Amino acid sequence: MDLREISETLKIKFAYLKALEDDDLKNLPAEVYVKAYLNSYARSLDLNPEEILNTYNLQVSPPHPEKKTVQDTEPSPQKKTHLKYFLIPSLILCLAIALASIQFKRPPAPQPPAIIPVEPAQKNLPDQVSAQQVLEIKAHDPTWLQVISDKTQSQELMMRPGESVTWHAKNCFFLKIGNAGGIKIFFNGKDIGKLGEKGQVIKLSLPENGA
């Protein structure tokens, strides 16, 4: 596949795709854009986006192996002697406990089924339903999102044009949007209007006092 054809199809600059192919990290935009580009690029090539993103994360933030000194890896003869006198009695004790446990183990007596009391239905169920916050997002341009519900549940996803996703929360939502001009947001059924320009990264709290 020609890289320029992919650039026109995905609406991603050819220079960024070329930098991704060449591992030229210094000529790439912000990390949130890079992740969105990798997700779209991987899907267009029928690759697993999660594996591609994991590879990118390891490349930009490689793990730091713990350093071990010679003293830690190669104990002195004196330490080996101490370990021998400590481990042998411990192993014998553990073996004796295991044998005793097997010998005296008996199947537990059957327990009667637990009786779960049934609470009467609450009369104010419609009020509880109406108090729930509903967030609907519709995409008309490729957009990366992070949605946090009630400050506890977080989800990241890449939305494609025509896709629509709905979330429910008890109190509030917090959003990080990688392309403010690529989506429309409906909060409790109401369109909140224009979020920003195409390619603009924004953060948003719904409702406004929920942050």
Mean pLDDT value across residues 100-128: 56
Q: Give the pLDDT of residue 129.
A: 43
- In angstroms, rounded to a whole number, what is the distance separating the alpha carbons of residues 133 and 167? 8
Q: Which residues contact 37 (CB under 8 A, 6 or more apart)?
A: 10, 12, 16, 17, 20
H or E stretch covering 148: strand 143-149
pLDDT tens-digit readout, 150-188: 989 899 999 999 999 999 999 999 999 999 999 999 999
pLDDT at 192: 92
Peptide bond into 207 cis (omega under 30): yes
Residue located via tokens 């071990």:
68
* CATH superfamily placement of domain 3-60: lambda repressor-like DNA-binding domains (1.10.260.40)
User: For the chain, which residues make up each domain, given as ranges?
Assistant: 3-60, 128-210
Largest CA distance in the chain: 76
Give the pLDDT score at 183. 94
Q: Check whether 70 has a pLDDT greater than 60.
A: no
* 21 pLDDT higher than 60: yes
* pLDDT recorded at residue 108: 60
SS (H, E, C) 10-39: HCCCHHHHHHHHCCCHHHCCCHHHHHHHHH
Residue 167 token pair: 């979330």
For residue 175, give both structure tokens. Answer: 């959003």
Decide which of 165 and 123 is more confident: 165
pLDDT, tens only, 35-56: 888 888 888 888 898 988 888 8
pLDDT of residue 126: 44
